[in-house]
């Protein structure tokens, strides 16, 4: 495995409806993509910092697609961090659980033919989840956090961060509700990818 290195090349103040953040722009020599960290408050040397690792989802984050819950999770994570004394949202450029936008859209077409989100990826010759959290761990180390409380429903994220030397003190669940369009997607993640989802509460008006 190639030794990864990252560089925090620029940081800018970003005022949002959830409070003021600083946006850190990271370059790396592994995938060549720009990964980002939205930082709230003073986090250097802190323990139990609230952290969310959010993988890019253009369709959900930008266009409001209801095929998933990504955009809603992004909004909820920023709200939770904004209400905390300090926190970090790492925005990873890993579209489609790492298979890229083109393949993700092809997977959507397969889902419309009856495949679930996992089997669609497999049908295209990919793994169910090809994301890599080395860069996320390096970003958290660069920000000099001592330990984190991780906002996630995915136990694999915890394992990956711990594998790369990040202490995860607590898992903070993040469920934003389900509806007709995203329920099959969420069920597949719970049943086939071990995501910790209750699927008990649906958003109204969906």
Catalytic residues: 129, 131
C-alpha–C-alpha distance, residues 206 and 203, integer Å: 6
DSSP-based helix, strand, coil % in the chain, nearest 5:
35, 25, 40
Q: Say if strands 148-151 and 35-40 run parallel, antiparallel, or are unpaired.
A: unpaired
* Residue 53 structure tokens: 């690792």
Q: What radius of gyration do the chain's Cα atoms show?
A: 17
Residues 6+ apart with CB under 8 A from 8: 24, 25, 26, 142
């Amino acid at each position: 495995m190639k030794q990864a290195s990252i560089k925090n090349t620029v940081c800018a103040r970003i005022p949002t409806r959830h409070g003021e953040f600083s946006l850190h722009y990271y370059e790396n020599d592994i995938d060549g993509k720009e990964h980002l960290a939205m930082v709230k408050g003073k986090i250097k040397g802190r323990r139990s910092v609230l952290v969310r690792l959010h993988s890019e989802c253009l369709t959900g984050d930008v266009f409001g697609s209801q095929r998933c819950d990504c955009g809603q999770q992004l909004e909820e994570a920023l709200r939770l961090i904004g209400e905390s004394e300090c926190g970090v949202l790492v925005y990873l450029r890993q579209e489609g659980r790492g298979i890229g936008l083109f393949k993700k859209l092809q997977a959507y077409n397969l889902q419309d033919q009856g495949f679930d989100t996992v089997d669609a990826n497999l049908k295209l010759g990919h793994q169910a989840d090809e994301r890599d959290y080395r860069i996320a761990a390096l970003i958290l180390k660069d920000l000099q956090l001592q330990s984190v409380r991780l906002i996630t429903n995915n136990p694999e994220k915890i394992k990956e961060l711990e594998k790369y030397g990040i202490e995860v003190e607590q898992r903070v669940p993040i469920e934003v509700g389900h509806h007709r369009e995203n329920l099959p997607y969420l069920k597949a993640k719970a049943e086939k990818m071990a995501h910790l989802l209750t699927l008990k509460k649906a958003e109204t008006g969906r």
